[in-house]
Amino acid sequence: MFNAKAYSAASATSPLASTTIPRREATERDVQIEILFCGICHSDLHTVRDEWHSIMPTVYPCVPGHEIVGRVTRVGSAVTKFKQGDLAGVGCLVDSDHTCPNCQDGLEQLCPNQTLTFNSPDKHLGGVTYGGYSESIVVDESFVLRVPANLNLAGVAPLLCAGITTYSPIRRWGDITGKKVGVVGLGGLGHMGVKFARAFGAHVVVFTTSPGKKEDALRLGAHEVIVSTNAEEMQRHAGSFAFILDTIAADHDINAYINMLGRDGNITLVGAPEKPLAVSAFALLFGRRSLSGSIIGGIAETQEMLDFCGDHTITADVEVIPIQKVNEAYERLVKSDVKYRFSIDMASLKSE
């Protein structure tokens, strides 16, 4: 065991603050990574503030962060995929049982015995796992991703969660070439959804509550932007979408978006608001529409997404911050004031 510098929250109402945490010595199958950048996902904030208490209560101290990119500093004797000095990524998962039907299908994100990167029981050290707001992490090589060398690393970090969470449901829906696809909410997930939907050839429409994000939405790849608070604009597009990805982090009227779908249209939720949403049965019945959910993606699919990003030079649009600004960043996240992902430069932890 060794100590690593990190930032943790002591309770649901405490700010994140400097601390040290234990990390395990690399076992034969482990990769030790010096973390260079870690994205700030809204799930970090939900967890730090214990907003998902009824589903996944937070254990404190909590070290969030599951959008990790860094450099390999050490590998165990049985590691074959990585060597010292390689770039490496870690997303939301650090382990699973490898044997259940989901794992066998490459869907580790659905494994009932998965270990999340933070706030999950830690099989090695006891207590809970600690995430990427830290100088280092030690992870089983089967959960470590290869990072294309041609991409900006601060913008790569968010691909490990925001990237795969939007890539996976869009891919799963099928061929969206020429189809009208909506992305609801232009935050960390939403802006990646726009980039992927555009890259796959859809006619992309952003729904936003922030009129000030209109120009950015177009620059990021949207063909049209709808300000969702404008009833007239919404009405004009009713019944016209094939697929909609809903990334909203807070309570909202989902029926307004279900009504945007055409016949057999699907709306997939990736946003995870604290409280249940009220769904109108009639909005689904008329038009034979469907509502689904999706959670991150499997390890093989995450690698496929990273390779796709390497081939198409896709990264997140990031605001790079030192770790000392993390609490300020959380306040801005709550106000939807992020363009479009915060990425923490972990070199800033050295001064703590």
Give the binding site for ligand NAP (CB under 6 A): 41-43, 46, 161-162, 165, 185-190, 208-210, 213, 247-250, 252, 270-272, 294-296, 333, 336, 338
Smallest gap from residue 158 Cβ to ligand NAP (A): 9
Closer Cβ to ligand NAP, 111 or 296, answer by number: 296
Helix/strand/coil for 186: coil
Closer Cβ to ligand NAP, 182 or 190, answer by number: 190
Site for Zn ion contains 117 (CB under 5 A): no
Residue type, 278: A
Closer Cβ to Zn ion, 197 or 296, answer by number: 296
Smallest gap from residue 20 Cβ to ligand NAP (A): 27
Structure tokens at 14: 């405490």
Alpha-carbon distance of 73 to 52, in angstroms, equals 34
Burial readout 307-332 (b: 16 or more C-beta within 10 A, e: otherwise): ebbbeeebbbbbbbbebebbeebbeb
- For 224, residues 6+ apart whose C-beta sits below 8 A from its C-beta are 203, 204, 205, 206
Site for Zn ion contains 94 (CB under 5 A): no
Q: 346: which DSSP letter?
A: G
Smallest gap from residue 323 Cβ to ligand NAP (A): 18
Closer Cβ to Zn ion, 26 or 164, answer by number: 164
Q: Are residues 121 and 113 in contact, defined by beta-carbon separation less than 8 angstroms?
A: no
Stretch that binds Zn ion, among 14-22, 53-61, 138-146, 156-164 (CB under 5 A): 156-164
Among 43, 117, 166, 259, binds Zn ion (CB under 5 A): 43
Alpha-carbon distance of 203 to 22, in angstroms, equals 48
Smallest gap from residue 41 Cβ to Zn ion (A): 3
- Cis, peptide link before residue 340, omega less than 30° from 0: yes
Query: Whose CB is nearest to ligand NAP?
Result: 187
Alpha-carbon distance of 190 to 172, in angstroms, equals 17
Smallest gap from residue 158 Cβ to Zn ion (A): 9
338 contacts which partner out of Zn ion, ligand NAP, none, CB within 5 to 8 A by kind? ligand NAP
349 contacts which partner out of Zn ion, ligand NAP, none, CB within 5 to 8 A by kind? none
The closest alpha carbon to 184, from 167, 215, 214, 208, belongs to 208
221, 222, 223, 229: CA torsion to nearest 10: -160
Alpha-carbon distance of 273 to 110, in angstroms, equals 20
347 contacts which partner out of Zn ion, ligand NAP, none, CB within 5 to 8 A by kind? none
252 contacts which partner out of ligand NAP, Zn ion, none, CB within 5 to 8 A by kind? ligand NAP
Residue with the two structure tokens 């950048």:
37
Closer Cβ to ligand NAP, 23 or 46, answer by number: 46
Cβ atoms < 10 Å from Cβ of 126 = 8
Closer Cβ to Zn ion, 274 or 352, answer by number: 274
209 contacts which partner out of ligand NAP, Zn ion, none, CB within 5 to 8 A by kind? ligand NAP
Smallest gap from residue 165 Cβ to Zn ion (A): 7
- For 18, residues 6+ apart whose C-beta sits below 8 A from its C-beta are 5, 6, 7, 349, 352
Among 9, 35, 38, 41, binds Zn ion (CB under 5 A): 41
Site for Zn ion contains 161 (CB under 5 A): yes
Q: 321: which DSSP letter?
A: E
Smallest gap from residue 52 Cβ to ligand NAP (A): 8
Query: Whose CB is nearest to Zn ion?
Result: 41
Stretch that binds Zn ion, among 43-51, 103-111, 214-222, 327-335 (CB under 5 A): 43-51
Count of chain residues binding Zn ion (CB under 5 A): 3
Number of H helices, E strands in the chain: 11, 17
Closer Cβ to ligand NAP, 78 or 334, answer by number: 334
Binding site for Zn ion (CB under 5 A): 41, 43, 161
